[in-house]
Amino acid sequence: MRTVFAALVLSLLALAAGAVEPGEMLDDPVLEERAREISKGLRCLVCQNQSIDESDAELARDLRLLVRQRLTAGDGNQQVIDYVVSRYGDFVLLMPPLKGATYVLWFGPAVIAGLGILAVILFFRRRQRTPPAAPPPLSADEKRRLRALLDKDAE
Amino acid sequence: MNKRLLFLLPLAVFVVLAVYFAIGLTRDPSALPSVLIDQKVPDFELPPIKGHERGLTSEDLKGQVSLVNIFGSWCIACQVEHPFLMKIKGENRVPLYGVDWIEKTPDDGPNWLKKKGDPFTLIGDDPNSKAAIAFGVYGAPETFIIDENGVIRYKQVGPMNDKIWEETIWPIIRELRKRGQKDAR
């Protein structure tokens, strides 16, 4: 059991390591950390659902190197990201930016959930406020049938 | 009556969403819009591939309407496209420039072209994706139409063929040339 657990933990560690090869890393740990952070937010355009930090694709590697080159040249994080976006568009960002065209994407689900909750609340409130109307009294005919049934049970 | 209609609302929402998703499914997720259309060609300077004398720079793309094709000997779709590129070269309708992208060894590109024929006016070697990233390339082959001022006008993702050429590429080239002549007058 313990070995299985250890194996699981180790395999998770392997996942966290990403695809960065030792030769790619920068000597300066601060810059390298920034490069990793930027890479995690950039989409690999070959495999599309991986970041360039995780992807083994050659284009991803070249993008990682480009990120590092730009950082070494003195670019800020946002400058590096802006450059890549200027080449590949917003699609390259794993986190879609918040702007006019993406408001629906960002707030749509919350708005729809809010409307749903509101509808449920209104529904229950209305039910509470209007107690069910008293049923109409039985007609003479119904009364007779009821008595007949009750009498039958009593026997 | 109104209440009845309200019950149909979820169905209506479902139908609208279903239509949207159905259309979405027919679209190719790898065909992304390029943000570089109507932008100047990025500045780049690529060395020649092994055995060639001249490389390719952004300056070479100015002066006339041209095509830039990103290819690699490793790329299967480029093999499919190659005979078509040879045909364009044979017809001599438009200069075709090549970017030889991320070859495993410097010999791969030249050998491939030697074996199959070289359709390109000039070729630049791009082993580190310098030009490819500048062009926003994410797969090969991709072909860009550049106008005579060095502005990117169209991007074709995937191999060209007769149909794409006749319906899309050639009409754009003709239109750009017409526009260029008008400007010159």
CA distance B94 to B96: 6
In a domain, B72, yes or no: yes
Within a domain: B95: yes
Q: In a structure prediction context, what are the per-residue pLDDT tens digits for chain B, which is 185 residues long? A: 567 778 888 899 999 999 999 988 888 766 666 788 899 999 999 999 999 999 999 999 999 999 999 999 999 999 999 999 999 999 988 999 999 999 999 999 999 999 999 999 999 999 999 999 999 998 889 999 999 999 999 999 999 999 999 999 999 999 999 988 777 66
Q: Would residue B151 count as lying in a domain?
A: yes
CATH number of the structural domain spanning residue B119: 3.40.30.10
A66 with B35: Cβ contact below 8 A: no
Interface of A with B in 90-129 (CB under 8 A): 91
Distance (Å, whole) CA A124 – CA A108? 25
Strands B66-71 and B142-146, by their bridges, are: antiparallel
Q: Which of A31, A62, A68 is nearest to A46 (CA)?
A: A62
| pLDDT at residue number B5 | 78
**What's the structural domain count of chain B?**
1
pLDDT in tens, A96-122: 888 888 888 899 999 999 999 999 999
Interface of A with B in 53-72 (CB under 8 A): 58-59, 62-63, 65-66
* ipTM higher than threshold 0.85: no
Nearest CB to B129 within list A62, A86, A89 = A62
The answer to whether residue B23 is domain-embedded is no
Predicted confidence (pLDDT) per residue in A21-58, tens digit? 877 888 888 999 999 999 999 998 888 788 999 888 88
Q: Domain range for residue B137?
A: 34-184
Q: Kindly state the DSSP code that residue B59 receives in the 8-state scheme.
A: G
